[in-house]
Amino acid sequence: MQAPFFSMATISFLGTGSGIPSEERFFSSTLLHLEGTHLLVDAGEPCVHLLRERGDLLRELDAVLITHGHVDHIGGLPALLQGCMLQERTKPLSIYLPEEMIAPLRAWIRALYLTEEGFGFPVNWNAWKDNTPEIIDEKISIIPHASDHLKQCYRGLSGADPSRPCASFSLEIRRDSFCAIFSGDLSSPQELLTWISKPLTVLVCELSHFSLEQLGAALQALLEKTSVETLCLVHLSEEYAREKSEVKIQMEELLPSISNVFLPDDGEILDF
């Protein structure tokens, strides 16, 4: 099977689950096809299998964009790299992620009896810098925006190291008039208000670490200064995942100016 050619933006929702293991939803992983460029946002397991199902993407994927180091967002990365090796990939692969994760992940790869030299393709490790654009294929701009999610989750744990940076990011991806925001995980939906000011084609936002009402209020404030064409809600808490139809109705009532509110299941595709 050959990977299809996409002449427009397409979002494939590989895994839409929260950090709680589920029989129905895989961990966080989303594939953005943007005019021939293939970007994987987060690498929750079993992303390697889900990419393999979609043709030649293990050979053709251009970049992996990791929002933060929680296992449900990054746990599938070693298997993805091994899968690319076994599929005889030769194309370089760029991985963008918080700087603090690079050395531990490379050590993890070695601990799993893999070597970067043995992959058969170069891996380019790139550290996010807050609000600093990364340019892919000379036409796509990716701007990371720091959030406090990881600090909030980690530093309250028994035995946590208070000196760890705990970097986590939302990602703003632009090409021409197309703009997608992938929220990653947030400490509060109010974080979106601090840096979103331009119209969005699509906002892919989590709904696990705060309430529907909190998100609705933040988006109402956001819509006072800009527009959002499509809202995709992913990473739903178990409560909201059981009531998806009701969540959709409530969001549509709270945000009538958004033309499309979408709560995707794993495997669903959204075209633009």
Q: What is the pLDDT of residues 154-208, one digit of tens each?
A: 988 999 998 999 999 999 999 999 999 999 999 999 999 999 999 999 999 999 9
Q: How confident is the model at residue 5 (pLDDT cuts 50, 70, 90)?
A: very low
In a domain, residue 134? The reply is: yes
In a domain, residue 130? The reply is: yes
Q: Give the residue carrying structure tokens 């945000």.
A: 255
Residue 2 pLDDT > 90 = no
- Phi and psi dihedrals of 232, rounded to 5? -110, 125
Q: How many CB atoms lie within 10 A of CB 192?
A: 21
CATH code for the domain of 39: 3.60.15.10
The mean pLDDT value of the chain amounts to 95
> What integer pLDDT is reported at residue 3 of this predicted model?
45
Model pTM score? 0.95
In a domain, residue 190? The reply is: yes
> What integer pLDDT is reported at residue 228 of this predicted model?
97
| pLDDT more than 70, % of the chain | 97
Bridging pattern class, strands 134-136 and 228-234: unpaired
Instruction: Express each pLDDT in 94-137 by its tens digit.
Output: 999 999 999 999 999 999 999 999 999 999 999 999 999 999 99
> What integer pLDDT is reported at residue 118 of this predicted model?
97
| 246-to-240, 249, 252, 266 alpha-carbon distances in Å | 9, 5, 10, 19
Number of domains the chain is built from = 1
In a domain, residue 3? The reply is: no
| 267-to-17, 120, 168, 245 alpha-carbon distances in Å | 12, 29, 25, 18
Residue 209 pLDDT > 60 = yes
Residue 4 pLDDT > 50 = no
In a domain, residue 72? The reply is: yes
In a domain, residue 138? The reply is: yes
Instruction: Express each pLDDT in 71-86 by its tens digit.
Output: 999 999 999 999 999 9
> What integer pLDDT is reported at residue 260 of this predicted model?
97
The predicted model gives 126-155 an average pLDDT of 95
Rounded to the nearest 5 degrees, what angle is found at the Cα of 146, between the Cα atoms of 143 and 151? 155
Domain that holds residue 102: 9-271
Residue 1 pLDDT > 80 = no
In a domain, residue 54? The reply is: yes
